[in-house]
Amino acid sequence: IQKIAVMTSGGDVPGLNACIRAVVRTAIFNQLKIVGIQHGFEGLIAGDFVPLHAQSVSNIIQLGGTMLKSSRSELFRTKEGRLLAYEKIKKENIDAIVLIGGDGSFAGVNAFIQEYADIPFIGIPKTIDNDIAGTDVCIGYDTALNTAMEAIDKIRDTAESHERIFLVEVMGRDSGYIAYGAGLASGAESILIPETKADIENLENILKKGWNRKKASLIIVVAEGDENGGAYKTAEMVKKYMPTHYVGICILGHIQRGGSPSAADRILASRFGYTSVIALLEGKKNIMVGIQKNELCFTPFEEVKKQHLQINQSTLNMLNALTS
């Protein structure tokens, strides 16, 4: 291979720029030409390419967002969209692509490679939700977790001063990773996640017990994907349990997707970016880079699926002990 491309697809996360930098620097170090595909698959379909040099990625390792922009593309889900993408790849003489994306992007590319087998892809997992199988951790999760934790710490200050109850809703469309991590790290009284029902069954008990033993504030962290309907619906329930209390709601939302990446995310992004280009040079293709037990590993795209947070009895026992 002589010329590769790099792109970011799906929801952005902190650490994308650090990853793009690693891909570009490794490619150039190995005498490869490299272009950026802008605006994700939408940009690929439109032929939106930009040449990249070592200098193009200077001073970006610390920046949130993605210098290449991103999109969630409906068009790439269609045969027509994928044909247009293939034509643009051939016209630009691109030999291989590094795709920094999530499980949706990898499913899209898996459909593409069934139709056009001559373009090798290497995937790099990123999502603040951390719910991609084949890796213990995805780029962006650590920073999002810290953002959520810092926000909850601040809400705790005001909740304590005014002796209030707060529900804090964090992101996680189908996944409780952020809620679980940020809730644990901030000492939340209760954590509600899509992976278990035991948390909601215990909520009234936890709140009443906390108040009876004169806690000055109660914080409930709710994953947006929690089946009880997120913070607003859960607040209705809490008001029934504690009718005389102030019950505040704070939705953290997209604040969790931005900001300067943590050291852990920069390091992970750099390792994944470097490894993706080396994998291409070694002739590997159509696999996602991951990290398991601190060892880099690869998973074929067709095996990449959603990963679910494992909440077993010993985790529930721990949460019970720490929240009581």
Identify the residue among 132, 152, 171, 184 touching ligand F6P (CB under 6 A): 171
Shortest distance (Å) from residue 161 CB to ligand F6P: 30
82 is annotated as contributing to ligand binding: no
Give the binding-site size for ligand F6P (rule: CB under 6 A): 9
Q: Does 173 bind ligand F6P (CB under 6 A)?
A: yes
Binding to ligand F6P in span 208-227, by CB under 6 A? 224
254 is annotated as contributing to ligand binding: yes
Comparing CB distances to ligand F6P, the nearer of 81 and 101 is 101
Comparing CB distances to ligand F6P, the nearer of 83 and 251 is 251
User: Taking the mean position of all CA atoms in its chain, how far away is CA 118?
Assistant: 29
Comparing CB distances to ligand F6P, the nearer of 17 and 73 is 73
Shortest distance (Å) from residue 162 CB to ligand F6P: 30
Residue 8 Cα distances to 123, 260, 316, angstroms:
10, 17, 36
Identify the residue among 43, 172, 176, 273 touching ligand F6P (CB under 6 A): 172
The yes-or-no answer on residue 153 being catalytic is: no
Q: Does 127 bind ligand F6P (CB under 6 A)?
A: yes
Q: Does 8 bind ligand F6P (CB under 6 A)?
A: no
Query: Which residues make up the interface to ligand F6P (CB under 6 A)?
Result: 11, 127-129, 171-173, 224, 257
Tell me which residues are annotated as active site: 129
Pick out the residues of the known binding site.
11, 21-25, 72-73, 102-105, 127-129, 156, 164, 171-173, 187-189, 213, 215-217, 224, 254-257
Pick out the residues of the known binding site for ADP.
21-25, 156, 187-189, 213, 215-217
